Amino acid sequence: MCKEEEVKEPASPGARLMQAPGFDLCILAVFGYKTKIDLDLFKEEIGQTLARHPRFCSLLIAKNKMFGTFSWQRTKIDLNKHIIAPKIDPGVENPDDFIDDYISSLSKSQMTHDKPLWEVHVLNVKNSDANSTVVFKIDHSIGDGVSLISLVMACARKKPESQYLPPVANKKAREEKVDAKNGLMKRLFVSVWTLILLLFNTLVDLLLFLATLMFLKDTKTVIKASGNVELCPRRFVRRVISLDDVKLVKNAMNVSINDVVLGVTEAGLTSYLNRRYEKHDENGTKITKKGSDSLPKNIRLRSACIFNLRPCAKLENLAEMMEKEKLLKGMWGNLVGIVVLPLTIALESDPLAHIRRAKSTMDKKKLSLGHKVAFGAMKLMMFLFGSKVAAGVSTRVFRNTTLSFSNVVGPREEINVFGHPLAYIAPSVFGYPQGLVIHYQSYADRLVIVLAADEALYPNPRQLCDDLVRSFETMKEAVKEKGLC
């Protein structure tokens, strides 16, 4: 475990931002295990891996609260203060509800600064998804979702007896065949056109970001948050779909997985809102409208999408860093940009229209530097005015949109984490000034859909989760019916 040191490491701008009032975010990562947790083995594994990571064995010390500056100071770790295993009645009546209620209760409070900003809750009770559940509660100042998933994989092995790190998905390089005769002119034309599109899309994104910051708000729907919703506890629900099925739709339509899940999000929210706006008579019977469309017209509904700006650290480097207690040297922390994604809330006769629209949107965002320019502006703002002002700007963007959306790639194979075989990973976050956060997390041959919802706005978040799954199933069937696969 970490040795106590006097040396302090300045907190990154992202970590400082996560400590500002009104933007104090906390990650809740739920790990379902295939076996019961051997607590002694689990603690030993945590002590040899996670607890040796510099951020997990450091206190966050406030240097100047007015300006929002902090530093990390190494300290000794007492695992008994971080690993919590409540006594659970083996005959608990409804294990699923018990675990969901327990996870929701963790969103009622933030981490205290009298110890490193993380804790682990071990729930040794079987439910419908796993034989045991472990909940990691981690202050967002420690790192972003991509960094933390990379760290988990660096702590993992493919098999209990294996010393090999698990494989992760890599981006495939595109092969471009260029005719030798026309190659130079074609490359020149493509380069100039790409530059024009890059500048145009960047300008549009920056104008949209500024408009959202100053005056452009989403339509006040039944799911649009208002007030200090970041202080409200969240209900966390999840569903699992086949990653192979997602890839089937992806390949059939020649799009990316991000395009598919964004299209699913748009379609699922459309179905959910349509049901919420249905009118009923005095007897509770639905009043059918022409075309069964109950949606208000011209809904503006947008998602604040989180883009990772940092290349993922190699798992071997993270593993070596924990083993030898090396310094991080810039390969860790919160380095994310915010992109505002418009969602079209409208019933479609062709369910694949949602994916086509999502692809068009994502292609424009990929060919844009808007999120990087916005991130640079936030860093400059923090340097000049402090983290409170920067957090206020970020908060306004989130308040003026309806939800947040994220998709994180996980291990390609099943793994053992902290000495036990893992069944699923379901990460989420609370503290956002929005009523809904949607995460998509891949693991082996599964894709986990995770919602963090304010129950005042989403009385039955499981219904929304089911709408997302049904929307995807409809898209899969449409692909098969059209003979695209």
Q: Which residues are catalytic?
A: 140
Contact between 53 and 321 (Cβ < 8 Å)? yes
In the chain, count H helices and then E strands.
13, 16
What does the alpha-carbon distance between residue 47 and residue 36 come to, in Å, rounded to a whole number? Answer: 19
Contact partners, residue 98, CB within 8 Å, separation at least 6 = 88, 92, 125, 127
Contact between 96 and 103 (Cβ < 8 Å)? no
The two three-digit tokens of residue 345, written as one number: 């809330």
The two three-digit tokens of residue 292, written as one number: 């069964």
Beta strands in 224-268 (DSSP E): 235-242
- Radius of gyration (C-alpha) of the chain in whole angstroms: 23
Q: Which residues pair with 430 in a beta bridge?
A: 26
What does the alpha-carbon distance between residue 62 and residue 134 come to, in Å, rounded to a whole number? Answer: 30
Q: Which residues pair with 134 in a beta bridge?
A: 31, 122
The two three-digit tokens of residue 469, written as one number: 């799954």
Sign of CA dihedral 474, 477, 481, 484: positive
Longest dimension (CA), the chain: 75
Contact partners, residue 157, CB within 8 Å, separation at least 6 = 163, 164, 165, 166, 415, 416
Distances (CA, A) of 30 to 146, 153, 346, 424, 468: 15, 15, 33, 8, 20
The two three-digit tokens of residue 248, written as one number: 């089937």
The two three-digit tokens of residue 367, written as one number: 């060919």
Contact between 98 and 86 (Cβ < 8 Å)? no
Mapped onto helix, strand or coil, the DSSP state of residue 178 is coil
Range 339-368 burial, b when 16+ CB lie within 10 A, else e: bbbebbbbeeeebbbbbebbbebbebbeeb
What does the alpha-carbon distance between residue 449 and residue 212 come to, in Å, rounded to a whole number? Answer: 27
Question: DSSP states of 428-455 as a string?
Answer: EEE--SSSEEEEEEEETTEEEEEEEE-T
End-to-end CA distance of the chain: 52
Question: Order of strands across the sheet with 69-74?
Answer: 8-10, 69-74, 58-64
